[in-house]
Amino acid sequence: MARIVIALGGNALQANPKDTTAEAQLVTARETSGAIVDLIEEGHEVIVAHGNGPQVGQLIATYEAAASINENSPIMPFPECGAMSQGYIGYHLQQSIRAEMRKRGINKEVATVVTQVIVDPNDEGFKNPTKPVGSFFTEQQAKKLMTEKGYIMKEDSNRGWRRVVASPLPMAIVEEPIIKTLVEAGHVVITVGGGGIPVIDTGNGTLEGVPAVIDKDFASCKIAELLNADALVVLTAVEQVAINFGRPDQKNLSSITVKEAKTYIEEGHFAPGSMLPKIKAALSFVEAKEGRKAIITSLEKAREAIGGTAGTVIIN
């Protein structure tokens, strides 16, 4: 038995990017739950983390659209949108995982913890926000939002202007004691959804939400470290990590060391907005303690990857 943190990628929540309805997501969550419960059935302790990019973007766009029709309609603050997305994605996952466990006679409970993650207000990410969120606007609309709301807006590939927010690194997880208690009691926990709600410590025990996006892979690494997990499993759209990706000389990797992975990073093999954060999170987890391993693979191959017959394993 191992303690495993599973970081679900977007394809595990929305199989069809053109169908972003809640109904479609619930169907995908039910399909995803099978792979998760496979590991639970084998006796592993499983903690689930997930992304929320499409979902939080949809929530923000909905409020922005309402405000464009009625100026008295308030735009929901970004941290609150993150919390809302954690709630409804967690609801879909916990309902689906529970049903799958009951079908197999597994008597465990599953719960979502709406998770706050402390970030450093002086993080370099706040100095140069780059993460686009929400709707597209005209230049005139963008300038109005910058003046009235204090947003940072940038032109996005000639498609219009969008709000951009920072992507700081996670420092600590506020609900860590609660999560540990639930895990130690044998429950299945869903946490750090979308990377967690970014908050800063303003002193005197007060936390304040900030408009930012924490990379879910780095947040998954943080919770895996805090829970002293044996493995971090990052599920994505491909079965294995590859170098020379998309080229005739593409080479899939079944196992790489930390040293090899760092060399591949220096050589520019991993795309910044895709595989690179997954590799960096995996390295951070593996390097922190001897005996740990990180696995990057597809949802369909998760069980085999844990058994060592699929995916890419990263070891020290």
* Section 214-218 average pLDDT: 95
In a domain, 133, yes or no: no
Q: Domain tally for the chain?
A: 1
Q: Above 90 in pLDDT, residue 13?
A: no
Q: Which of 52, 194, 216, 280 is catalytic?
A: 216
Kind plus residue range of the DSSP H or E element containing 143: helix 139-149
pTM: 0.91
Q: Which one of 222, 278, 280, 293 is the catalytic residue?
A: 278
Annotated catalytic, 9? no
Nearest to 228 by CA among 174, 165, 292: 292
Q: Which of 11, 57, 196, 222 is catalytic?
A: 11
Q: What is the CATH number of the domain that holds 98?
A: 3.40.1160.10
- pLDDT range class, residue 205, cuts 50, 70, 90: confident
pLDDT higher than 90, residue 175:
yes
Q: Per residue in 273-301, pLDDT tens?
A: 789 999 999 999 999 988 899 999 999 99
Q: What does the pLDDT average to over 156-168? A: 89
Predicted local confidence at residue 63, as pLDDT = 86
Structure confidence at residue 132 (pLDDT): 86
Residue 307 burial (C-beta neighbours within 10 Å; 0-12, 13-18, 19+): exposed
Q: Give the whole-angstrom CA distance, residue 312 versus residue 186.
A: 28
In a domain? residue 162: no
Query: Domain span at residue 189?
Result: 3-117+173-315
Per the domain annotation, does 36 fall within a domain? yes
Contact 241, 26 (CB under 8 A): no
User: Nearest-CA neighbor of 4 among 52, 51, 48?
Assistant: 48
| pLDDT for residue 191 | 98
| 216 included as an active-site residue | yes
Give the helix/strand (H/E) hosting 253: strand 251-253
Buried/exposed 51-87: b ≥16 CB within 10 Å, e otherwise: bbbebbbbbbeebbeebeeeeeeebbebbebbbbbbe
- Between 67 and 39, where is the model more confident? 39
Residue 149 pLDDT greater than 80, yes or no: yes
